[in-house]
Structure 1
Amino acid sequence: MFVALTPKTASLLFTLLTLFSASCFAVITPQRQQAVTVCDATIQPDWPVDFTATTCQQVALVDVDPQGKTLWLQLTLPVSKQQLTQLKPPLALYLNAKASSSSYLNGYHLGNNGLPGNQPDEIAGNMDARFYVPLDLLLVGDNQLVVKMSAQQSLFTLPNPVHFIGINHYNAPQHHLQRYSNWMLVILGILLTATLYFAIRSLQSMQRGQHLLLALMSLFAALQLFSEIGRALFSYSYPLHDVRLLVIVTFSFGFGLCLLTLITQRFVRTHAVHWIYAGAAATLLTVILIPGFDNKTTAATFCPMLLSVILAARHGYRRRNLAAAATTVTLSLFLLIIVLTADYFHETLYFVLITLLLSVLFMQQAKDYNALLSNQQLDKERIAKLTLRLEQNQQHNKPAILKIASAGKVDIINTAQINFCQAAGDYSEINLTDGRQHLYSGTLKNLESELPSTFLRVHRSYLVNLEQVTRLQTSTNKSSGSAASLLLQNGQQLPVSRRLIPAVRQAVTTEIN
């Protein structure tokens, strides 16, 4: 991650940068452990500077620290004849550091990045600076680079504020920091898509809380990733670098806390809130006490995940729960990779793993969701059977009646004696079990509203009494597809609308069972 680095990690990162650059193009850059001369700029405020003064000292380049001070930095850039011929003009001096700066190459002033100076006078420069270098300014042999640096507007003190110094082809100031931006943009798109998907799913009533947590996890990961690659995409002044690091840690903490909440909701039966509060407090304390923002960012996710592993493992052991065991293995592998790659756990690996972790959690969530749907469907079928039985018992104990007015008289019909009803224009024919017929002065829809729930609409022209149904018959025709009919107790057959076949099959099965 492009955050504060320990000396070991900084050296490794710088070596990788150098090897990558050298494999693609010529680059002139000093070694991180190269000895450089540093002088206090409050004693010698103006150029030229006497670097042989007793107040000056030699330190390794990796240890140069302009935070809270103003200093002069002198270093040597050796250039071979081969390098000079390989360099493609125009050239630029790249200075990626948390500081304002003013650069001189072989006595020539290249320009300013902000304005270095004491606290009242400093103008903050960009985190990543670029200075044009005339080709004829470079010499075969040793070239002297002098940089005046200051960082008086820092919120935090970072262990290694100077990230890269080198001369190369003129390009964007972040040229040496954006190798992975294209891949990261792809992952960013995946995370934002996941955020939208889970946010929409959270609008449904089923598993709303868990879908909301997955949406927040995806969002926090996406925002953290965007903050990470933001340095490669945008130029910003060096004081904002501290804010950016703080934002990255905050998003990492948000992701970890949501993960812990999700695991406790799934696998903790009692005192779940207490575990969440305890995990949040322990993580926050660790983040505050641990040095270095790269370590803070990792700890903000590592600590909640470690507690999540413990909770999932405990539930899996006590309940012999396979889902808890699978979650334990997945999170444990993630933690193991973090531990094994602690010295070079950069943003590509981290966010690839985060995306894979979200994918695993999504698959587990989908499996739980499908199981919940199946259970709800079974419950609905049981409720439907119970409701139908209650309706039948009620009809047998106190049969429903239907009043039909015609020719100045009113016929009263016991609904249990109705076999089926058939649409006849603006009227409906009521067919009784004894073969008689009555004419109802209304549509089949009106008649359906007056009959008990033991009657089912099986076709736009037929309404059948389920108690009179003995069998549902289906057949398949290559030209017309599936067809179905109901066989009644009196031997009559009624057609079933193709789109209603599943509902009729379920109702008939419930009735027969």
Structure 2
Amino acid sequence: MPAATRFSIANRRTTGCVGERSRARPRTGWWVVLLCWLTWLAATPAVAADAAPAMRQGPIQVCAADGSHCRETALWNIRPVSDELILSQQIIVDSGALPPLRPPTLWIAATASSEVRWNGVPIGSNGTPAMDRAGEVPGNYVASVAIPPALIRPGVNSLSIRMSFHHLWLPVHSPVRLVYLDPSGAGDNPQLRAYLPSLLMFGTLAAAFAYFGFAAATDRTNGAARILASVAALACIQLATETARLFVAYPYPWQLARVVAIAVLAATISVLFVAYAARRFWPARRRLMVSMAAIAALASAVLVPVFDGRALGAITAGAVAVMICAAVGAARERSGSALVALAIAGTTLVLVVTQWGELLDTSWYLLVAGTLIVLLVEQLLDFNRVRRHAARLSARLHSLESQDRPILLKDGARTHCVDPGQILSISAADDYCEVHLADGRTLLVSSTFSGLLASLPPGFPRIHRSHAVNRVHIASVARGASGRMVQLSTGKTLPVGRSFAAAVDACVGRNPQPSDMRL
């Protein structure tokens, strides 16, 4: 069976075999394990590299360009309200750390040009900061400056960073992302460690894109596969855009294009997840839910001033919409998949609240990759279930076809061509078998009892050591004076052996009608 066909079948509710009642079975075993793994990864905060006790960074102060009006603040609260500003910080150096084995490295990530001074001495620049746009040369968004060991003294050292922001083409709420002193001087970007879990998810996202993309390409009618392939592809692009600053040096104005792209991609992924959830759990309101999620994402882009906040607003709206669709699906179908969708959407909302500033760096990609893993595992389980169902149908079809195929029974010198459906019962008679037919004839076939049963198609269970019947012609099973008896459609009765009672009960419990034995 082609993969795309299997994928399409797996997205529909499978029914039982002929004569069996279909029943929904919540299948949450694998999903719960994967969801716990996903939640643990997503809820684990990224561990930043701890500064060595030999060099301790004090609080950051923001000053005007002339060094006046200084105030203590956090990095995320720095606003480019003037043409230039100066960040100052005290660095406490332990005398035992001198001289350092390698020059310590100062890492700066900011949408600004910068000039760095250590104890009042210029030690490096990133671009050229200036009072106006014409004089400024844009620096890179991520830059590092080595601190000369000769300038480092024990005790208090002063660090000052002069910044200008004249080449921003959109308002930026928080231009400074990182000011970090690496005493080891190893030269490794300190943000690499925080992004490592996300980078590990790239292979998972690429595999999900290949899987769902192949299913969509081989079955053009498979809308669910197209949605999930699009989610995986956009998540790969967003992750590559997010981590580009680790590997590519680019001028700080390009950072605006990067954060806009990340916000748009996150919002699009959220809307696609809503489209998938609505298609699966609430198809009657699919357009409404997708439209509401898209409108909420646009409203977030207009009303929220921070780029990360715009993306998180769209993610929040998408998670709420998915929860609504999954709640409707859970109420209607009581399916395990709807409950898992509720749990994933709820986890997303919890992480938006608890990891507001860090969600888009790591946890978001773990959530997307984990959700795609859950859906992929679900498909694999459905494929196995569909294959087993197809095998049962094939066996059933073979049984029905065999019932229509005449068999040859030799009675003395004559050979009879008999339809298996016309056989009522078979009884052992020494080295012969008595075959009783629906038309009233009885054939004495020169064959052993077990040998004749082996030559017949399925549907002739043994009810006694010496008797077998055609299950199609079983009318009832009742208890008589000498034990349990099977009554056939002609009124004939045969005894039931004790060791065959369970087989008779199972046969009667799912006894098909004669009309079911024909295609």
TM tier, smaller: 0.5 to 0.7
Candidates 234, 238, 241, aligned match of 2:255: 241
Instruction: Map 1:54-65 to 2 at 5 A.
Output: 56-62=68-74, 63-65=77-79
Q: Structure 1: which 4+ aligned runs deviate by more than 6 Å?
A: 372-389, 510-513
The runs of 5 or more residues in structure 2 that have no matched partner are 1-44, 407-415, 418-453, 459-515
Instruction: Map 1:247-258 to 2 at 5 A.
Output: 247-258=261-272
What's the offset of the Cα at 1:383? 9.4
The runs of 5 or more residues in structure 1 that have no matched partner are 1-12, 41-48, 393-415, 417-432, 435-468, 474-509
Q: State the distance in 1 between where 2:370 and 2:302 align.
A: 28
2:64 is matched with which residue?
39
Residue 388 to residue 291, structure 1, CA distance change in 2 (3 Å): farther
What's the offset of the Cα at 1:215? 1.3
Instruction: Map 1:179-198 to 2 at 5 A.
Output: 179-198=193-212
Candidates 109, 112, 122, aligned match of 1:96: 109
1:355 and 2:369 aligned: yes
Aligned-pair RMSD on alpha carbons?
3.8
Q: Taking structure 2 as the reference length, what is the TM-score of the superposition?
A: 0.62
Q: Cα deviations across residues 54-77 of structure 1 (Å, max 9, x unaligned)? A: xx2112243444466223444433
Q: Taking structure 1 as the reference length, what is the TM-score of the superposition?
A: 0.62
Q: State the distance in 1 between where 2:78 and 2:347 align.
A: 38
Q: Contact conserved, 1:21 with 1:27, CA < 8 A, in 2?
A: no
What's the offset of the Cα at 1:274? 2.6
Q: What letter corresponds to residue 364 of structure 1 in structure 2?
A: E
1:84 is matched with which residue?
98
Residue 194 to residue 243, structure 1, CA distance change in 2 (3 Å): same
2:487 is matched with which residue?
none
Give the secondary-structure state (helix, strand or coil) at the position aligned to 1:103.
strand
Q: State the distance in 2 between where 1:358 and 1:113 align.
A: 41
1:30 is matched with which residue?
58
What's the offset of the Cα at 1:379? 8.3
Q: Contact conserved, 1:184 with 1:348, CA < 8 A, in 2?
A: yes
Q: Cα deviations across residues 63-107 of structure 1 (Å, max 9, x unaligned)? A: 44446622344443333313434x332333333322101222223
2:50 is matched with which residue?
21
Tell me the percent identity. Answer: 22
Give the secondary-structure state (helix, strand or coil) at the position aligned to 1:175.
coil
Q: Contact conserved, 1:67 with 1:150, CA < 8 A, in 2?
A: no
Q: State the distance in 2 between where 1:81 and 1:214 align.
A: 57
Candidates 269, 274, 277, aligned match of 2:291: 277
Q: State the distance in 2 between where 1:293 and 1:179 align.
A: 23
What's the offset of the Cα at 1:305? 2.0
Q: State the distance in 2 between where 1:218 and 1:27 align.
A: 43
Q: State the distance in 1 between where 2:358 and 2:176 align.
A: 18
Q: State the distance in 2 between where 1:139 and 1:350 align.
A: 43
The number of aligned residues is 373
Q: State the distance in 1 between where 2:87 and 2:220 align.
A: 63
Give the secondary-structure state (helix, strand or coil) at the position aligned to 1:21.
coil
Q: Contact conserved, 1:27 with 1:166, CA < 8 A, in 2?
A: no
Q: State the distance in 1 between where 2:312 and 2:396 align.
A: 50
Instruction: Map 1:416-435 to 2 at 5 A.
Output: none
Q: State the distance in 2 between where 1:380 and 1:274 align.
A: 42
Q: What letter corresponds to residue 215 of structure 2 in structure 1?
A: R
Q: Cα deviations across residues 140-186 of structure 1 (Å, max 9, x unaligned)? A: 233233332101111333333223334434344x6221113443322
What's the offset of the Cα at 1:361? 2.2
Q: Contact conserved, 2:308 with 2:360, CA < 8 A, in 1?
A: no
Q: What letter corresponds to residue 324 of structure 2 in structure 1?
A: I
What's the offset of the Cα at 1:201? 1.7
Q: Cα deviations across residues 309-360 of structure 1 (Å, max 9, x unaligned)? A: 1112113213444433343234333433433444654633332232222222
1:170 and 2:185 aligned: yes
Q: State the distance in 2 between where 1:369 and 1:335 align.
A: 32
Residue 225 to residue 67, structure 1, CA distance change in 2 (3 Å): farther
What's the offset of the Cα at 1:365? 3.8
Residue 131 to residue 313, structure 1, CA distance change in 2 (3 Å): same
Instruction: Map 1:389-408 to 2 at 5 A.
Output: none
